[in-house]
Structure 1
Amino acid sequence: MKTTYLFLYTELAAYTMACLTALKKQDPAAAIYVVHFPVNKEAPFVFDFSSIGTFRSIETFSSYREMEAYAVKIRPTKLICCGWINKNYIRLSNRLKNSATCILTLDNQLTRSWKQLVWKWSGALLLRHIFSFVWVPGQRQFSYALFLGFRKEQVLVDFYACDTSFFSKVGAAALSAKAEAFPRVLLCVARYIPVKAYEELWDAFIQWQETAPSEWELWCVGAGEGFANRVEHPKIKHLGFLQPAEMEPILEKAGVFVLISKFEPWGVVVHEMAAAGFPLLLSAEIGAGDSFLCRENGWMIASHQRADIVDAFKKIASTPVAELIKMGHKSQELAAAISPQTWANTLLGAGPRTINQ
């Protein structure tokens, strides 16, 4: 029997397309439909939808009733709803819950805040009524799903998966060259918004270079509201937003990946950079660090204080090249555990709602 998938997405990204492509390859008879938010102006990816299925922006529906009619006509057997930010997505999932296996995705970390406590005893009751499964990226989100009242057997894992084929291929070739001449370049890929802690990163890097000048540079990739106010410095490069294919030469010329966000529920970019063979410097707030960072492949800043970030830079600079290369290989090893193929396998294995659900 042919499976029909209906994805109710918020923001599309390159890794989304890699996962959907893997699903189509593993289930070629499947019909894939994707309803999504408009492409984010701060991450203006260019996508090729032709080989995957039918994509439709939510903006093209004049009303909820039109979107409902579209979905009913599709008759999905599996519906994947990304979070609960869009109330019409939840309403549609409720409408189709008896005819489709409905899967909720979430990336919220468990904080036990008052807001989460209120949601546990209000909105989460409806979610448990609608969705047979909840699909999460990591342990912090797994804990939140259980907190909301979902049972362990209802929680699917590894929802976020980067295009490991692309990044690992680039990384494998780059590591060989880096062993001969390791690039003294710190690379940060993030939107220019306050929670990404770019200002703290720039301030610490500048102080480090002023007190202990070295060959090291800092390259920043991304766009966002803060780009116009970026810090200018001879050793800091702002490369703007880059499409995945444009990242390849950057990955080859950079040495260590840095992301010190103050808020980062997951962070697929960490998976991408691990797959590309980078040693990692992260903050504790980044959910993906649980899966892709250990003592063998990187460092975690003690805090967002300038002195602690500078201290981390010093540790990187004092690490022998041979050790940095070893760390890069460890990153690739950790990254290989999750891929678009494992993502597709998880979705293929999610069965229909049982009586006791």
Structure 2
Amino acid sequence: MSLKIVFCWSDISGYMAACWRSLQARQEIDLFVIAFQARTQTAFSDGLMQGIPCRLLGLQERNDTKLIKELISQQNPDAIVLCGWFHHPYRQLAFAKNLQNIPLIMGMDTPWWGNWKQHLAPWILRSYLKQMAHVVVTGERSWQYAYRLGIPLENISLGLYGIDYEAYAPLLAARRRSPWPRSFLFVGRYSHDKAIDLLATAYRLYRSQVGDPWDLVCCGQGDLESHLQDQVGITNRGFVQPAAMTDIWLKAGALVLPSRFDPWPIALVEAAAAGLAIICTQVCGSAVEVIRSEYNGIIIPPDRPEALAASLLTIHNHYNELAIWGTRSQDLAQPYRSEIWAQRWLAIFNSVLHPVH
């Protein structure tokens, strides 16, 4: 018999839809996803979930604990996957009497920073964490946090996220058939955390240092969009749905992500799978897994426009090496293929539901 698994998730995305689709394709799994409905036209489209058994929650529904409990009970799951502890109705599921015999698996991408809130978290979250049969983290930095939360080592696994690797992998070969693009790409929210304001400043500085500057293409949306307006060399594409991103990835020469705070940005993994050199800051959690400085990218301190401008200049001056860097990037992205993600999660479900003593 197949295992009935319910994922209780927040916002849908292209990468999670690809992962769920790969998991659903496994005959050992009967999948159902409860997630938030897309809120605006500039969010990921609900159409991403086409073909995946799911119930997308509206703005009011996502805060209706009773409804969520009923939806889960209707599925009669063998295990429930919860996305962290931030959403109160999901957190309440850990204490629901009608679900108390169902193993709970928690995903977390929060990195360990050692601030006072994180030092208090083991006490604040103690009753919730005690209900978790297993915790799945994104990478090394969130593993450190899970360990400090008191999760036993045998109950921590790596590999919370995966990507649609097969959609990105052909782009490297396609890009190499023509002169490598001379263009920088930013993909993410136009927000303070993503440092879009600092990127605009650093890009102007970079342009002042070369006679043939590359363009900067930005894909996203957010409150700081005005920093991109009327800027020479910057093209603002706005929010672009995953299916429409292929040509944008193909025409990029390198990805830039100058974040001030970014637990585990998927954009780095997707850019690596697309065969790009990558510039990012030290706070980007996924850099630990997919970026090797001066090998397939450049890692710089956050909030340093001069350092970011210098890294743009380095990529510019190492143009002839970018195809090599891109090939290395792709190798580092392969473990995050959605098919491998599904295999990894199947092993986690089996270890939780059929433990070997």
The question of a shared fold, defined as TM-score above 0.5 by the shorter chain, is answered with yes
- Which string of whole-angstrom CA distances, capped at 9 and with x for unpartnered residues, describes residues 112-166 of structure 1? 211111111221x123321111011100001100000011111111111111110
CA distance in 2, matches of 1:113, 1:62: 29
CA–CA separation in structure 1 for the residues paired with 2:355 and 2:345: 20
Counterpart secondary structure, 1:5: strand
**Equivalence for 2:309:** 310
Distance (Å, rounded) in 2 between the aligned partners of 1:56 and 1:46? 8
Q: CA offsets, 1:278-297, max 9 Å, x none?
A: 00111000001001100310
Contact 1:49/1:55, CA 8 A, preserved across alignment = no
User: 1:156-175 alignment to 2 at 5 Å?
Assistant: 156-174=157-175
Paired residue type of 1:172: A
Is 1:5–1:79's contact at 8 Å kept on the other side of the alignment? yes
Distance in 1 between the 2:20 and 2:269 partners? 17
2:92 pairs with 1:115: no
What is the aligned length?
351
Query: Partners of 2:21 and 2:143 in 1: how far apart?
Result: 26
Cα distance in 1 for residues equivalent to 2:319 and 2:90: 51
Q: Distance in 1 between matches of 2:302 and 2:142?
A: 23
After TM superposition, the runs of 4+ consecutive aligned structure 1 residues lying more than 4 A away are: 353-357
Check if 1:266 corresponds to 2:267.
Answer: no
1:65 is displaced (CA, Å) by 2.3
**1:90 positional shift:** 1.7
Q: Secondary structure at the match of 1:352?
A: helix
Alignment of 1:95-110 (within 5 A): 95=96, 98-110=100-112
CA deviation map 1:259-308 (0-9, x unaligned)? 01000000001100000000011100000100110031011124422221
Comparing 192-201 with 137-146, greater Cα deviation is found at 192-201
Q: Deviations over 1:206-233 (max 9, x none)?
A: 1221243314111111111222453322
Shift of 1:37: 2.0
How far residue 101 of structure 1 moved from its aligned partner, in angstroms, is 2.3
Matches within 5 A, 1:188-227: 188-227=186-225
Please name the residue that 2:230 is paired with. Answer: 232
CA distance in 2, matches of 1:63, 1:244: 30
SS of the aligned residue for 2:49 comes to: coil
Distance in 1 (CA, whole Å) between partners of 2:23 and 2:211 is 49
Cα distance, 1:62 vs structure 2:
7.9
Please identify, of 44-53 and 241-250, the stretch whose mean Cα deviation from structure 2 is larger.
Answer: 44-53
CA positional deviation for 1:354:
8.0
**Percent of matched pairs sharing the same residue:** 25
Show the 5 A alignment for 1:1-357: 1-27=1-27, 30-41=29-40, 42-57=42-57, 59-60=60-61, 63-95=64-96, 98-123=100-125, 125-174=126-175, 176-177=176-177, 180-294=178-292, 295-321=294-320, 323-350=321-348, 351-352=351-352
**2-structure distance, mates of 1:355, 1:244:** 38
Check 1:356–1:252 CA distance in 2 against 1; reply closer, same or farther (3 A cut). Answer: closer
CA RMSD of aligned residues (A): 2.1
Q: State how far apart, in whole Å, the 1-side matches of 2:139 and 2:52 are.
A: 26
**AA matched with 1:242:** V
Whether the aligned pair in 1 keeps the contact of 2:14 and 2:48 (CA below 8 Å) is: no
Q: Deviation digits for residues 176-219 of structure 1, max 9, x if unmatched? A: 22xx4121101010111111111111111112212433141111
Indicate how the Cα distance of structure 1 residues 140 and 316 shifts in structure 2: closer, same or farther if over 3 A, else same. same
Equivalent residues of 2:259, 2:302 under 8 A apart = no
- 2:122 maps to a residue whose letter is K
Distance apart, 1:356 and its partner CA: 12
Paired residue type of 2:278 = L
